[in-house]
Amino acid sequence: MNSNPTLEHLRNLLVSLGEHVRATLIEQRGGAVDPRLADVAAVTAADTIYGIDALVEPAILTWLAENWPSSEAVELVMEGLEGHGAKAYPSGTALAETRWKLIIDPIDGTRMIMHDKRSAWMIGALAPQKGAATTLRDVAAAVLVELPTIKQTLVDTLSAVRGQGVRAHRVNLADNSRRPLKIGPYAGTEVAHGFSSLVKFFLGAKERVARIEQQTLLRAYGAEAIGAMVFDDQYLSTGGQFYEILTGRDRWLGDIRPLIYAAEGWKQILVCHPYDVGAALLLEEAGCVIEKPDGSPLDAPLDTTSPVAWVAYANPSLADRLRGPLQEALAEELG
């Protein structure tokens, strides 16, 4: 398919924005763990905002004001903006005049990076403006930018334009040199001796999710699944989980917390939101399968509050093997 020059230009802008966020975080953090970065700065309808979030959110607004082209006016959707009115760029643009909607998670994996445990990720997704009707299915370009721990020197950036595949490069922070990065999801249908899991970060849903996960594997692989050493890596970042699938480290991942919470009658807090899955386009472009747990296409409004349940498989054959067993396990557990 021929490339779209406008989308290619906007993809490059998203990469530049993400790498600006990374540079800002590195500079502001100053090479040391600051306990104040874990302080709660605010609690919004979307999420808890920590001190580390406050380091990068202003940098995004400034960068957009200084760099976003006037010919491609954009509406910004981002956690932390709730209650402050809509943001459109170039500054002063009316929402009705915007051509694009950009949803951003400035730091996906805040709880890890503020304690310097593991990389977080900046996620950005751009879609043609359709107002409130704009959804994940409309995303035309997306970016996933690694935000490193203090001791890291190598960081990755992945991006895509719909229909053009995934592009990736690795940056050496020691000298800012970069080289192309080849990515490739797992191609097989087995899960033994590899990483596969459903999200179970927090108390409450953990036990039910674990039962669904175990029953899915038993139904798909039989008794051999019991001792098959399926490794469970709870990467507390949706962007990080996507990266693990894109680079062949993980084979099957999913987040079904919204289904569990609905079944229990619990408030939908601490669940995945559309800004967390904005990089789903990268999985699709890499040949992975990402969908709702019932097998229907993954979709949600481009907002900061809608709960999103998703399942991602490294390839279509693996999806065919696990999809039915997962749905059977969900029906048995949730009714």
Report, as an integer, the average pLDDT of 158-184.
97
pLDDT digits (tens, 9 = 90+) for 109-135: 988 888 899 999 999 999 999 999 999
- 195-334 CATH pick, 3.40.190.80, 3.40.190.10, 3.40.50.970, 1.10.540.10: 3.40.190.80
How many secondary structure helices (H) and strands (E) does the chain include?
8, 14
- Residue 88 predicted with pLDDT over 70: yes
pLDDT-derived band at 58 (thresholds 50, 70, 90) equals confident
Q: Is 239 left (phi over 0), alpha (psi -120 to 50) or beta?
A: alpha
- Give pLDDT, residue 13: 98
pLDDT digits (tens, 9 = 90+) for 45-57: 555 666 677 778 8
Q: What is the mean pLDDT of the chain?
A: 91
Run of H or E including 186: none
pLDDT digits (tens, 9 = 90+) for 255-294: 999 999 999 998 887 899 999 999 999 999 999 999 999 9
Please give the C-alpha separations between residue 296 and each of 22, 254, 289, in angstroms, as whole numbers: 34, 14, 11
Q: Is 49 within 8 Å of 79 (Cβ atoms)?
A: yes
- Residue 308 predicted with pLDDT over 50: yes
pTM of the prediction?
A: 0.93
Q: How many CB atoms lie within 10 A of CB 195?
A: 18
pLDDT digits (tens, 9 = 90+) for 9-42: 999 999 999 999 999 999 888 766 665 665 555 5
- Give pLDDT, residue 293: 98
Give the fold, CATH level 3, of 5-180: Fructose-1,6-Bisphosphatase; Chain A, domain 1 (3.30.540)
**Dihedral sign (CA 168, 31, 54, 116):** positive
Provide φ and ψ at 100, rounded to 5°.
Answer: -135, 160
Q: Which of 334, 309, 331, 329 is nearest to 212 (CA)?
A: 329
- Give pLDDT, residue 34: 63
Q: Which two tokens stand for residue 134?
A: 């704009």
- Give pLDDT, residue 1: 47
269 CB-near residues (< 8 Å, 6+ apart): none
Q: Which of 105, 115, 123, 119 is nearest to 51 (CA)?
A: 115
**Could you tell me whether strands 166-172 and 154-161 are parallel, antiparallel, or unpaired per DSSP bridges?**
antiparallel
Helices (H), the chain: 5-29, 53-67, 110-113, 206-221, 238-246, 257-264, 280-285, 316-334
State what percent of residues in the chain have pLDDT above 70.
Answer: 91
pLDDT digits (tens, 9 = 90+) for 89-103: 999 899 999 999 999
Q: Is 90 within 8 Å of 65 (Cβ atoms)?
A: yes
- Give pLDDT, residue 137: 98
- Residue 226 predicted with pLDDT over 80: no
- Residue 72 predicted with pLDDT over 50: yes
Q: Is 144 within 8 Å of 21 (Cβ atoms)?
A: no
- How far is Cα 281 from Cα 237, in angstroms, rounded to an integer? 17
- Give pLDDT, residue 128: 98
**Domain residue spans in the chain?**
5-180, 195-334
- Give pLDDT, residue 164: 96
Report, as an integer, the average pLDDT of 78-97.
82
End-to-end CA distance of the chain: 44
- How far is Cα 195 from Cα 293, in angstroms, rounded to an integer? 19
